[in-house]
Amino acid sequence: MKVLLNYLEKNVTLENDSKHEKAIKASLALISTLIFSAGILWSLMYLYLGYEKAYYTAIISTLFIGVNLFTFLKFKKFGMFLNLQLFFILMLPCCLQWSLGGFSKSGVVIIWAFLAPLGAVIFRGLKRSLPWLLAFGVLLLFSSIMNNYFENNIMQPVMTHELLFFTMNIGVVLIIFFLVLAYFFNQLDKASLSLAEKKNQLESLAGKLAKYLSPQVYASIFTGKQNVNIETYRRKLTVFFSDIVGFTDITDNLESESLTELLNDYLNEMAQISLKYGGTIDKFMGDAIMIFFGDPETRGIEEDAYACVSMAIEMREKMKHLRVKWNANGISEPLHIRMGINSGYCTVGNFGSDDRIDYTIVGGQVNLASRLESHAVSDQILISDETYLLIKDKIRCERMDTLQVKGINKPVQTYQILDKYLDVENTNADILHQRGPGYLISLDFDNITDDEKSSLRTILNKALHNISS
């Protein structure tokens, strides 16, 4: 059977047919071959038993089926072949039943006609099979109405032949019906397996592509929230830049393999912290990182700014652990980062060409964040006054110098991030932080130098004197 199906698939299909189309055409040709063979067998049986009218009806209809099959093999006109085959399959059993004397005498041979609407469902689809089902119903109703006429005017076969006809008709039709269903479910299983394989391939591909996109951007695209078109809009964001201080000098002292391992380790740790706080990673530029908060997801302008600053503080703390790790791995030069943060309205969206786009942000506020980062010193988080106003109630900051930035008329007031108020107030005795309506005391005993200690004694003694007087 498989050999015959492969032969038919090779001879009845076109080169540009899809696998599904080839399977459909070969299957119909196979079913037609089986029905043609059954027609020959039924014709010989009627001839042997002496049913001349049934013999001629069966052999003529069977020959039409054979000619139609041969024409299909020759010219490969599938639409015409399908319609003619369904017509012959529908009409042949009805004509045989009428020539044999109705339902009982023919052994309900009209049941063969049901293969026409069944085939139409398989090969044409449910909607286009309805006319064939309607035609079968009309012929069945007509046969029922005219059954008494056929019984009284057609030669009566003996009971043995009735049982033989009934057994063969029911048995063979059920076998064909079973084979058709078996084929249908086999194709369904293959289709499901193919879909599952394609789904796994797409999931694997999507997982790989996700590594080239920020998770928020990836999710917004795959859920349909964001279109992959060239479009931009304005939104207030908090923008973050960072890089490793003196990274160019470090690259000259490290082998490329060690440098790659260090850089990937650093970027991976920073990216994990960014994702923890909900930042959108715009890009990695060597050792530099650009992240923004507020699009495509936002928790509000103040919360976005606070999340960004909190991320920067944790990155700074993480670097302490990484320096110990890298030192143990033979990198003696301690690595430090500097960070700049600014909040303001930016142009955000998809930039590029029709074939290649990049989701990013542009604008003067982005440039200001970059300038803040370039002016920061080792382990310093330098922020603008815009960001300071958003986080000053939650983050301890120190006022720094103003910064003149190209494109901005007035100097920009800057602040450096010290720590979160909550974190400082809950640390051990190595850090003292107290504040009130008229005072602010903040001491980090671990980082006070000997020279600073002497100056602090003088300042504190003077402060105590003023308080006592």
Q: Answer yes or no: is pLDDT of 383 > 60.
A: yes
* Structure confidence at residue 279 (pLDDT): 93
Do 232 and 163 fall within a single domain?
no
Of residues 15 and 66, more confidently modeled: 66
Render pLDDT for 284-303 as a digit per residue (tens, 0 to 9): 998 999 999 998 889 999 99
The pLDDT of 157-161, averaged and rounded, is: 56
Do 308 and 415 fall within a single domain?
yes
Render pLDDT for 74-124 as a digit per residue (tens, 0 to 9): 888 888 888 998 998 899 899 888 888 888 888 888 998 998 998 898 888
Domain of residue 182, residue span: 2-206
CA distance 112 to 316: 81
Instruction: Cis check for the bond before 117: say yes or no (omega within 30 of 0).
Output: no
The pLDDT of 31-43, averaged and rounded, is: 85
> In this predicted structure, which of 140-149, 256-265, 373-382, 399-408 has the lowest mean pLDDT?
399-408
Of residues 158 and 127, more confidently modeled: 127
**Is 387 inside any structural domain?**
yes
Do 264 and 376 fall within a single domain?
yes
CA distance 109 to 4: 28
Do 252 and 172 fall within a single domain?
no
Q: How far is CA 427 from CA 263, 320, 421, in A?
A: 31, 17, 10
Q: What is the DSSP string of 193-262?
A: HHHHHHHHHHHHHHHHHHTTS-HHHHHHHHTTSS-SSS-EEEEEEEEEEEEETTHHHHHHTS-HHHHHHH
Beta carbons of 318 and 396 less than 8 angstroms apart: no
When pLDDT is cut at 50, 70 and 90, the band that residue 232 belongs to is confident
**Is 222 inside any structural domain?**
no
Do 152 and 26 fall within a single domain?
yes
Do 157 and 290 fall within a single domain?
no
For the chain, give the mean pLDDT.
Answer: 83
Query: Is residue 269 classed exposed, middle or buried when 0-12, 13-18 and 19+ CB atoms within 10 A define those classes?
Result: middle
* Number of C-beta neighbours around residue 432 at 10 A: 13
Do 191 and 233 fall within a single domain?
no
